[in-house]
Amino acid sequence: MNAATPSLWRGLFLVLLAALALAPLYAQWASEPFIVTFLTRALVFSLAALSLNLILGFAGLVSFGHALYLGLGAYGVGLLAHHGVDNGWIQLLVTILACALVGFVTGWVSLRTSGISFIMITLAFAQMFYYLFVSLKAYGGDDGLSIASRSDFGLLSLGHAATLYYVALACVVGVLIWTSRMVRAPYGMVLQ
């Protein structure tokens, strides 16, 4: 790797970031609102990919249960909203705590194994939670929940698709910067 490579990647990152920042404006100009919805979903899955890259790419842990935490976060917010808790800060706090608790318990069991056993245990946990939520007919079962409104974060209204998109973009950029710095820190070196 020569000296120009980091600056080239940084430049490509900034060009991509600028294009993503302008995407809602283009979608409005082109009268194609699905672009914003599609890109918002892509950004959410990018967050999942970043976390999977951290656990697989740097820590070397092949986890087939990684979608468990994405689904648990979605259901956490969805169940709270279904029961009338629209405050996004409360939803965020409760969901983070629930995911952390499940992550601690599943990690405590899974990390006592290695290799194929680790892979199969993470898959088993993901399947257990999948079938748990699919069996909850009161919450839509296979069809999932239909939520009438988006979370309310006070001054930040996620009711507009472009606002939700920019929040998702900010989260992806923040997590990308955080993970890139973390893997270069002493803790990140231990993961490798």
Quick one: 89 and 35 in the same domain? Answer: no
Taken as a whole, the chain contains a residue count of: 192
**Least reliable range by pLDDT among 1-10, 125-134, 151-160, 163-172:** 1-10
Q: What is the DSSP string of 58-125?
A: IT----TTTHHHHHHHHHHHHHHHHTT--BHHHHHHHHHHHHHHHHHHHHHHHTTS-HHHHHHHHHHH
Give the whole-angstrom CA distance, residue 50 versus residue 57: 10
Radius of gyration of the chain (CA): 19
Q: Are residues 73 and 116 in the same domain?
A: yes
118 plus 141 within the same structural domain: yes
- Domain assignment present for residue 174? The answer is yes
Domain co-membership, 70 together with 115: yes
CA distance 191 to 62: 14
pLDDT at 188: 72
Say how far apart CA 19 and CA 12 lie, in whole Å: 11
Give the position of tokens 């499940």: 102
Check whether 95 has a pLDDT greater than 90. Answer: yes
**Structural domain range at position 43:** 25-55+160-192
- Tens digits of residue pLDDT in 172-187: 999 999 998 888 888 7
pTM of this prediction exceeds 0.85: no
Decide if 105 is inside a domain. Answer: yes
Residue 1 lies in a domain: no
Q: Write the pLDDT tens digit of every residue in 143-152.
A: 878 887 888 8
Statement to judge: residues 78 and 138 lie in one domain: yes
Residues 75 and 98 in one domain: yes
